Amino acid sequence: MALTLAEAAKLSNDVLLQGVIETIVKDSPVLQRLPFIEIIGNGLTYNREATAPSAGFFDVGDTWTESTPTFTQQTVTLKIMGGDADIDNFLIATRSNVQDLEAAVVELKAKAVRTLFEDTFITGDETLNPKEFDGLDQLTDPSQELTMGVNGGSLTLDKLDELIDTVLGGKPDLLLMSRRSRRILNKLARSAGSFLETDRDEFGQMLQFYDAIPIGVSDYISDAQTVGTSTDCSTIYAFQTGEGALVGLTAPGGLRVERVGSLETKDATRTRIKWYTSLALFNTVKLARLIGVRP
């Protein structure tokens, strides 16, 4: 069963772990919606549908022809990510509230973990760096890629609708874009005489919707991508999440917070945040991207 980090945190009695997960999830539209599957072992091998089976009409006495889907086998391995947060023992001894100090230091490290995950979620390339997992840029099938033009172009609502329709089997669960692209979309909506729908998420933050699809903003989608001769392009992603679509993978127990304890080489106490995680795309038609979005 796939659970989001926020849902998994509710099952834990560790207050520190709950605080770390809340810090990681709070400002991340991706981690708020991306469910994770726990897997045993260091990786997952699964079959991704390549071609669908066919059907037809037959007369009485006709010879029926068999048609089965074809699959390509995919293997995804868990990657190790995380970091250590050291708290100086002198500060522990002289500060009146040790818990506040620990929470502040661990919160900073938790934000660093979130930054690493969100960046890798977009740009991760296992070929260039075997320590990281493949992100959306590598997982998107070429047949699911749209472009605003040979050298990019200005975003249009028609092209955004085409991107949404490229994700098959239902509407996307998220439209992920840069802040600049969201500003452009807001301007397009106003020019069309309407506004994007808004509502509050579970953290009380305002969330915008286009065609009832949540809009997520990522600071790790570059607005300086090169398409043709243009070097000021960006990308918009549309995807479904969950089993059968885009899903996170994690080792049993998910995100972990460990108190390593006192260090030998310096007068400090260490807390470690670690996560054995990766991404899997079970069906290529559940993810699409629009490249070449210019200002």
The residue type of 125 is D
- Average pLDDT over every residue of 34-39: 93
Q: Name the segment(s) of the chain with CATH classification 3.30.2400.30.
A: 5-49+73-134+244-281
Angle at 204 between CA 38 and CA 99, to 5 degrees: 70
Identify the band that residue 137 occupies on the pLDDT scale cut at 50, 70 and 90.
very high
- pLDDT exceeds 80 at position 204: no
- pLDDT exceeds 70 at position 1: no
Question: What's the confidence (pLDDT) of residue 96?
Answer: 56
- pLDDT exceeds 70 at position 98: no
- pLDDT exceeds 90 at position 209: yes
Question: What's the confidence (pLDDT) of residue 19?
Answer: 82
Of residues 98 and 31, the one with the higher pLDDT is 31
* Range from 157-171, 194-208, 265-279 that averages highest in pLDDT: 157-171
**Total-model pTM:** 0.88
Q: Which of 49-53, 55-59, 138-142, 149-153 has the weakest average pLDDT? A: 49-53
The residue type of 106 is V
Identify the band that residue 218 occupies on the pLDDT scale cut at 50, 70 and 90.
very high
Provide φ and ψ at 220, rounded to 5°: -110, 10
DSSP string for the chain:
--B-HHHHHTT---HHHHHHHHHHHHT-HHHHH--EEE-SSSEEEEEEEEE--------TTPPPPP---EEEEEEEE-EEEEEEEEEEHHHHHH-S-HHHHHHHHHHHHHHHHHHHHHHHHHH--TTT-TTS---HHHHS-GGGEEES-TT-EE--HHHHHHHHHHS-SS--SEEEE-HHHHHHHHHHHHHTT---EEEE-TTS-EEEEETTEEEEE-TTS-S-EEETTEEEEEEEEEE-BSTTSEEEEE-TT-SEEEEEEE-SSSSEEEEEEEEEEEEEES-GGGEEEEEEEE-
Question: What's the confidence (pLDDT) of residue 255?
Answer: 87
Question: What's the confidence (pLDDT) of residue 225?
Answer: 97
Q: Could you tell me which of 217, 209, 222 has the C-alpha nearest to residue 293?
A: 222
DSSP string for 187-240:
HHHHHTT---EEEE-TTS-EEEEETTEEEEE-TTS-S-EEETTEEEEEEEEEE-
Assigned CATH for 5-49+73-134+244-281: 3.30.2400.30
What is the rounded CA–CA span in Å between residue 93 and residue 85?
17
Q: Name the segment(s) of the chain with CATH classification 3.30.1930.
A: 142-241+284-294
Please list, residue by residue across 257-290, b when 16 or more beta carbons sit within 10 angstroms of its beta carbon and e when fewer do. Answer: beeeeeeeeeebbebbbbbbbbbbbbebbbbbbb
Mean pLDDT of the chain: 89
Q: Which of 64-73, 118-127, 132-141, 285-294 has the weakest average pLDDT? A: 64-73
- pLDDT exceeds 90 at position 224: yes
- Over residues 159-199, the pLDDT tens digits come to 999 999 999 999 999 999 999 999 999 999 998 887 788 88
Q: Which of 94-103, 139-148, 169-178 has the weakest average pLDDT? A: 94-103
Question: What's the confidence (pLDDT) of residue 97?
Answer: 65
Distances (CA, A) of 158 to 66, 146, 161, 209, 287: 40, 12, 5, 16, 18
- pLDDT exceeds 90 at position 200: no
Q: Which CATH number fits domain 142-241+284-294: 3.40.50, 3.30.70, 1.10.10, 3.30.1930?
A: 3.30.1930
Of residues 23 and 228, the one with the higher pLDDT is 228
- pLDDT exceeds 60 at position 37: yes
- Average pLDDT over every residue of 50-59: 83
Question: What's the confidence (pLDDT) of residue 182?
Answer: 96
Of residues 105 and 146, the one with the higher pLDDT is 146
Question: What's the confidence (pLDDT) of residue 106?
Answer: 83
